[in-house]
Amino acid sequence: MSESEEKVSENSVTETPGKVFSEGDFVVYPNHGAGCVSEVVEKTILGEERRYYVVFIPDAELTLSIPADGDSGLRACADEENTEAALSVLRGEATEMPQNWNQRLKHNQAKLREGGISQVAEVVRNLSSYGGEHNLSTGERNMLMKARRILVSELALVCDTGVKEAEELVDAVLRESTAEDAT
C-alpha cells in the first residue's frame, strides 16, 4: 500500500457521494442491512488489486467484502436526526404508487438501492399500506420483507438496541399510523 493509500485509509471520512469509509464506520448495504466496517483491505483478484470494505452485518451474522470502488449502494448509516425523520415518514400517509405491480416493484427497488433511511421507511410504509388494501405480488412481499430488514437493522444500530426492539418500534409506529388513518 502506498503512502497516499495509507493516509486515505487512516483518515477517511464517511462521504455519501464518494462513499469513502474507514474502520469502525456504520454503513448500510442495501442487500443485507446495517453493519460496521471492520477493516479496509487491498485484495488482488484475477491480477487486479482493489480496495474492499469488510463489513460485519450483526443482524444476519454475516461478514461481506464489498468493493470500495464500485457502485455497490453502500451508504453511511443514518444519524439520530435522520432516524427520527424516517419514523415520521412511517407515521405519514402512504403516497401514490404506480398501478402496475411491475412498475411498483421497479419504483421501490430504486428507492432501496439509492435512498437513505427515509426512503426505505417510505417503501415499508407504502407497501404495508398497499398490502392492507390489496394483495401484494410475491416480489412486493419479498421487497417489503427486505425493506423492513434494512430499516430495522439500521434503527437497531443507530439506537443501540436489539433487533427485536427495533422491530417492535416499527410495528408500533405502523399500527399508530393505521389507527390515525381509520379515525
pTM for the full predicted model: 0.83
Q: What is the pLDDT of residues 101-125, one digit of tens each?
A: 888 889 999 999 888 999 999 999 9
Sign of CA dihedral 178, 129, 150, 16: negative
Please provide residue 90's backbone torsions phi and psi, each rounded to the nearest 5 degrees: -60, -35
Is residue 180's pLDDT more than 90?
no
Domain 80-182 is classified in which CATH homologous superfamily? CarD-like, C-terminal domain (1.20.58.1290)
Name which CATH class applies to 3-76. mainly beta
Is residue 28's pLDDT more than 80?
yes
Any idea what DSSP says for residue 67? E
Is residue 31's pLDDT more than 90?
no
pLDDT confidence tier of residue 96, bands split at 50, 70 and 90 = confident
Is residue 19's pLDDT more than 50?
yes
Of 116, 182, 126, 129, whose CA–CA distance to 155 is shortest? 116
> Any idea where the domains of the chain sit in the sequence?
3-76, 80-182
Average pLDDT, the chain: 85
